[in-house]
Structure formats: structure tokens, C-alpha cells
Amino acid sequence: MATPNRFAYSPASAPFTLTEIMIVTLVVAVMVATLLPAVEKAREKARYGRWQGHVSTMRGDEGMVALYDFEDGQGQIVTNRAIGSDTTDYVPEKMNGERDTAALTAWAEGRWQGKGALFFAGFPPSWVRIATTQYLNPKSGTLGVWARPYTEDGFFPYGNPHLFDCNTPDGTHALSLLTSPTGQLMVNLGDRQAVRVGKEYGQAWHFVTLTWNEGTFKVYWDGGLAMNDTYTPFTAFSPVAAIGSMYGYDAATDTTMSYGGSWAGYIDEVFLYTRELSADEILALYRMGIQ
């Protein structure tokens, strides 16, 4: 009996034709295109869930007195979600923010799908007014902001845009995060005005954190230390503050108004502590915020 030739040609062992390869490739491409949005949506949902869990932990920090996550999604009030468990006679609602009534801010989506944010038009009165700063600590504290600019030509349309502004009535003792008209990050703290940090906003989300403690301040950019400097300690803040704009305060009439320096873009998280956060704590906040 003849031994079968194992290397003889048969239709079953024939190579794929070009047409068959193209069909398989097309099928795979269609499957990938169909599945990718679902995978990305699931990933975004997971990020949002992790962030919500972390926020719950943050709220329990004894030193936190303000947390604006912009999850309201409607109305004129921006809810303060801090608990302030270590602050005497603390009432969270007193530090709720109030949007301007001129419709120059709008509820929007934040740094991932499902995350709330507020869009600032870039022209006054594009701001959120915080009616009291009585719970802040001028001697030691932390201010953190997640934000992304929206500028078509790289320039902000109106002055030096402010992410956060808390000036004393005489304008000499400020607590401010702001940028130059071209997006270079600056800080006002006490007698130190318009201190350039050496970081510049592009059209991307960035996490900026300012800490102060008895004459020393630090600025962190996306979780890393960007500046370590000094200021003259002071004992009082302005009685009011603003998110998204520079403002003026009239002590005689106890009124405020936005008069320029309005942010153009998105802000989707602002928090304030009565203590200086450590470098490790700030890095952890950043990492949770981008995951």
C-alpha cells in the first residue's frame, strides 16, 4: 500500500486568499469600532465611580471647609459639600456658592464623561460668589482647583483671569490663583502679588494647589511641587470670595461685584482646607483626579 504524501496539496491546507483576508480584516475592524465606545464608556464610568468614592473620603477630612464639585447640574446655587467636622459652629450651607445672574456661566461636563463642571464665559460678571470666608484659616490652609481654559487664540479675552479670588477690602492681603492673559500661572498671597509660578495653561485640564503656613507658601502643578516661597503672614481674609473672577468688595455697603479677570473655560472642582496638605496628600489627590 502506498504511503500517503503528507505534503500533497489539498483544499483544506490552501492559504487564505486576499479576498478572505480582507473580509476577516473588515469584520475585525467593525467589531473593534463597535466595542471601543462601549469600553471607553465603561472606563469613564469607572473613573467617575472611583472619584466619587475618593470625594466621600475627602469630605471626612477634619480640615476641609469647602468642596465644590459642580455636580448640581442646574440652578444658581453651587453646593458646598464639605462637612467641616473640626470647625467650630460650622454650617456648610453658609459657604454655598451663587452663580452670577447674567447667565455668563453654564453647567457643563467636566474632565470625564458624567463629571459635572461649570463653564465660565470669560467676561464679567462670569463668576461664583462665596458669601462668607469665616471658616478659612489665614495662618494655614490649602486651596486646590481643577480647571481647563477655553481660548481660541491662546489669549484670555479680559485681563488676568482668576480661578479663585479672596482679597481683603483694601486689596493688600489676597489669596488668589490667577493667570496672565497668555495663561501663565500666578499667585497672590498676602503681600506677594502676581508671583509667576513658571507653569502655563494650554487647552488641557490641570490641577493647581496652593498651600500656605505661617509665612511659607508652596504651589503644586499636577501633583508636583512647582514653587516654594515666602510671604508676610497676615491675620484676616476678605469676608467674601469668588470662583472664576476677580471681584471688588465695598465694606461700607457689604456688596461685591465682578470687575474683570474672568476665567474663560471650565472649572470642575475647588476645595479649601484649614491646614497645609502634605506633598503626598496632594499627589494622591491628583492621581485620583486623573485615573
Per-residue confidence (pLDDT) for residue 248, from 0 to 100: 63
Which carries the bigger pLDDT value, residue 35 or residue 289? Answer: 289
Q: Residues 36-61: pLDDT tens digits?
A: 666 667 777 777 788 888 888 888 88
* Interval 122-157: pLDDT, tens: 887 788 999 899 999 999 999 999 999 987 666 776
The alpha helices in the chain, defined as continuous H runs, are 18-59, 279-290
Domains defined for the chain, CATH in brackets: 45-290 (2.60.120.200)
Taking CA atoms, 75 is separated from 72, 79, 106, 272, in Å, by 8, 10, 10, 23
Note the pLDDT of residue 141.
Answer: 97
**CB within 8 A of 141, min separation 6: which ones?**
211, 212, 213, 272, 273, 274, 275, 276
Q: Whole-prediction pTM value?
A: 0.84
pLDDT of residue 270: 97
User: What is the tens place of the pLDDT at every residue in 265-283?
Assistant: 999 999 999 999 999 999 9
- Position 32 scores a pLDDT of 67
